[in-house]
A = this chain, B = another copy of it.
Amino acid sequence: MKLNIAVLPGDGIGPEVTNQAVKALKAIASEFNHNFKFTTADVGAVAIDKHNDALPEETLELCKKSDAILFGAIGDPKYDNNPSAKVRPEQGLLKLRKELGLYANIRPVKAYNTLLDKSPLKKNIIEGTDISIYRELTGGIYFGDKTLSKDGNSASDLCAYSREEIERVAHLAFVAAEHRNHKVTLVDKANVLETSRLWRKVVKEVAEQYPDVTLDFLFVDNAAMQMILNPKQFDVILTENMFGDIISDEASVIGGSIGLLASASVGDKYAMFEPIHGSFPQAANKGIANPIASILSAAMLLSHFDLHNEAELIRLAVEKSLKLNITTSDINSVVNTVTTANVGDFIEDFL
Contact = CB atoms under 8 A, between A and B. Distances in A.
Interface of A: 75, 79-81, 83-84, 88, 90, 94, 120-122, 125, 141-142, 144, 146-148, 152-163, 189-195, 197-198, 200-201, 217, 220-222, 224-225, 227-230, 242-243, 245-250, 252-253, 258, 278
B258 A246 contact: no
B159 A90 contact: no
A155 B160 CA distance: 6
B198 A228 contact: no
A201 B163 contact: no
B242 A155 contact: no
Nearest to A244: B221
A246 B192 CA distance: 13
A90 B141 CA distance: 22
B228 A120 contact: yes
B200 A83 contact: yes
Given A122-B122, A224-B247, A258-B225, A90 B155 contact: no
A249 B227 CA distance: 11
B163 A154 contact: yes
Contacts of A250: 221, 224-225, 227-228, 250
6 contacts: A88-B191, A120-B122, A158-B159, A189-B242, A224-B224, A229-B253
Question: Of A94, A158, A162, which is in contact with the most chain B CB atoms at under 10 Å from its CB?
Answer: A158
A225 to B, nearest CB: 5
Contacts of A191: 75, 79-80, 88, 90
